[in-house]
A and B are shown apart, each in its own frame.
Chain A
Amino acid sequence: MTWFAWRQFRIPSWITAAALLAVAVLLAITGHNLVDEWNASGAATCHGDCGGALTTFIQRATTGAEGIAFQLTTVLLYAMPALIGIFWGAPMLARELESGTYRLAWNQSITRTRWLGTKLAVGGAASALSAGLLSWAVTSWGHHLDHARYYRILPVMFGARGIVPIGYALFAFALGVTMGMLIRRTVPAMAATLAIYVAAVVSMPLWVRAHLAPAVHGTMPLDLSSIDILSIGQNSVMTVRSGVTPSNAWVLTNNTITPSGKIFTGPADPTHCGDGGPRECIQWLSTLGLRERLTYQPASHFWQLQWMETGMFVAAAALLTAFCFWFIRNRLT
């Protein structure tokens, strides 16, 4: 059965291997340049305040071929699990059910359970391996950039680094198989797989990820030298937000509070925050004893969040797989 599972999987796995090879070539070429720029900018050898060197490096590294490669690989790491779900997962059972060949396969001398188990093992291993390879290649290629600027804890980068892509890939694969089994038609199963995968992956930074590790709470005096938002609305309602946040952190909430701990909403004093311009208004704000209250996930939580999120997706994949076994034994009759 293993031979046959591979035989059916041969062309998709060749295509994937070829695509991975193309990406590897791209990364090898641009990676070489990245290292040169890292050394040339002085960031490699600087001690203490490296701000200038890093800015130079980022400027060079995010333009031209490297910049394109950076964006491309980020997109690719999100797209790859979707492609795995669509082109490996969805057709795996749907095509057999659609074309009737399951009636041939299920009347050989092996049980459906073993048949499904082998197919899932081969497809699942290939999915995890492909996503893992790509993520490893991109992570090691971009580690200078990640270090210099592109905080990997931030929502967009998080899913394109580390081990999370493996979790996404396993989930997308199991999801595709399940959809194919339930819908029994390849193309609609592909569409359903894509829709659910996108919904699952997008919902993580929006609603779930922030709660996977206890967030850090911090309060500090409001630094008025860097104000992100200063607005005065109807009835003199004010919104003030500082732009000073811990570096490399994913800021979840950022509120300006009064000395009594309530969120500061004004009212704005018209004598200071009127025609005099923002400078006078800020001057007035500095006399109010305002503080900045933050909740955030610091960079040090990266791996904890990675393991938690990967675990969630692997668990979801395991549940879908268990459902497939149950369904194929008890419902597809």
Chain B
Amino acid sequence: MSSPVLQAEHLSKRYGRREALSDCTLSIPPGHVVGLVGPNGAGKTTLLQLAVGLLRPTAGTITVLGGRPASGGPQLAKVGFVAQDAPTYAGLSIADHLRFGAHMNPGWNQQLAADRIAQLGLDPSQKAGKLSGGQRAQLSLTLAIAKTPELLILDEPVASLDPLARREFLQALMGFVADRRASVILSSHLVSDLERVCDYLIVLVASRVRVAGEVENLLATHYRLIGPRRDPADLPPGIDVIEASYTDRQSTLIVRSAAPIHDPSFAVELITMEDLVLAYMARATTSRQPVLETIR
């Protein structure tokens, strides 16, 4: 149970000359709800599609639950996937979708699927093409959950949903995690979606992983320093400046430091997940040098 759910070594994916994912090295321990966050076009979908085997790496390797993605029926059975925009067969009814799941998956749990549909108040004879975006996302989640995977991967599952549907969807997802003790990886370009549900965070900006680690660890090692204006190069070693902003008299630094900071000239504050993600995004756009760090 301690082997990683997802392990990537120097994973890269190129489309022609465009690099969608560059030199990604990751090791995600099991039992987490992993948030993959980054701006649109950062490579989140590419990474997730590599993990489910819809894409193949240009270079490097990726293993999911110890196997090569989509390498066979048993591997496919272990991973549930809700693709971006929650694709469903518009001409088929909800009941047909459940029958589809039952025929395609040896581990299918019909009871679970039927209960979920009933709970959502959906009519099984309704065509999927007539469902709202939120209902379609719920149907996709039902299909992915009822195949009883060990790892559930969701690509921007709530991006097109209104706030209420968003909350309902995430609640359903959390219910599944609590019941099944499965691992989940979900992506979003909005930190607020992930804040409440994730305990592991990966920030992906411009095709590179900028930071990855348990949320608790990340928040405990990042600080906001506010003090008189000074050159960040003067800071003691062991403090990595992620983002710096200045007024005439004052410096505001977001830093990462394994050890607590005892510098009387600074006011030291803990930061939120949103601050942290924004700092790494800002750093990625201002500095050209790649940052590859992982907290495990």
Q: Which residues of A contact B (CB under 8 A)?
A: 1, 3-4, 7-8, 99-101, 103-112, 114, 333
A108 touches B56 (CB 8 A): no
A-B contacts, 28 of them at CB < 8 A, read A1-B104, A4-B100, A7-B92, A7-B100, A100-B83, A100-B85, A103-B81, A103-B84, A103-B87, A104-B87, A104-B88, A104-B89, A104-B143, A105-B104, A107-B54, A108-B100, A108-B101, A108-B104, A108-B105, A108-B147, A109-B76, A109-B77, A109-B104, A110-B73, A110-B104, A111-B72, A112-B70, A333-B54
Per a CB cutoff under 8 Å, which of B53, B73, B88, B89 touches A109? B73
- Interface status of B55 (Cβ within 8 A of chain A): yes
B99 touches A3 (CB 8 A): yes
A108 touches B54 (CB 8 A): no
Per a CB cutoff under 8 Å, which of B70, B87, B89, B99 touches A111? B70
CA of A51 to CA of B99, assembled, Å? 64
* Residue of B54, B70, B79, B104 with most chain A CB atoms under a 10 A cut-off: B104
A106 touches B70 (CB 8 A): yes
A107-B56 in contact given A3-B99, A4-B104, A99-B90 (Cβ < 8 Å): no
Closest residue of chain A to B58 (Cβ to Cβ) is A333
B70 touches A1 (CB 8 A): no
How close is B71's CB to chain A, nearest CB, in angstroms? 8
A107 touches B76 (CB 8 A): yes
Q: Which residues of B contact A (CB under 8 A)?
A: 52-56, 70, 72-74, 76-77, 79-81, 83-85, 87-90, 92, 96, 99-101, 103-107, 140, 143-144, 147
For residue A7, which residues in chain B have a CB less than 8 angstroms away from its CB?
92, 96, 99-100
Per a CB cutoff under 8 Å, which of A1, A3, A104, A111 touches B140? A104
Closest residue of chain B to A114 (Cβ to Cβ) is B73
B80 touches A107 (CB 8 A): yes
CA of A8 to CA of B88, assembled, Å? 13
9 smallest beta-carbon distances between A and B, as pairs: A108-B104, A103-B83, A109-B77, A100-B87, A107-B81, A333-B56, A109-B105, A101-B87, A109-B76
How close is B133's CB to chain A, nearest CB, in angstroms? 14
